[in-house]
Structure 1
């Protein structure tokens, strides 16, 4: 089990780093200005801050596996939102997806 958790955390961290970089590039394209390139990264930080207490409560009540599953499900939904944002040039999907993508960053 520890190796699976380690691998999941490594993949999640890699995805978060890639998402932050790609989000900056997409923000310029979707939002139309280089002035907004830091916005997705800022929203990743906000998403981490918002998800940490919620996932902590879930893990205390339902166990660590439930919290991990919820965090990764939220991040997967966020990543899908970012992909949709890139495909249809939707600022709202990009920003909401960026917030959701960072949930696993708060999990031990």
Structure 2
């Protein structure tokens, strides 16, 4: 599969997106260690947005790369996409976290107890 240049480009895009999401999660972890959960609430929300967006992108691309077989019960790819979709909802979906991030950036002093997604 990796011999086809167009597929290689898709795979690289997927790796770059995953690396970006990992970096955002690491930044949120670092800020949580340094500032505590309340101080890192915006970074945590940003990490959730990036992780959710990346998961959807990588999952959908994986199904596309495998063709119709990607969504059959015999293929693990479709199962992973379903799991990614369920995980995206946990802790607030991407839209909710983006709204939260925006609110935290506009009113940072009100974010002291907002780490739980409230």
Length-normalised TM-score, structure 1: 0.38
Q: Determine which structure has more spread, i.e. the larger CA radius of gyration.
A: 2
Higher relative contact order (CA 8 A, sep 6+): 1
Higher helix share: 1
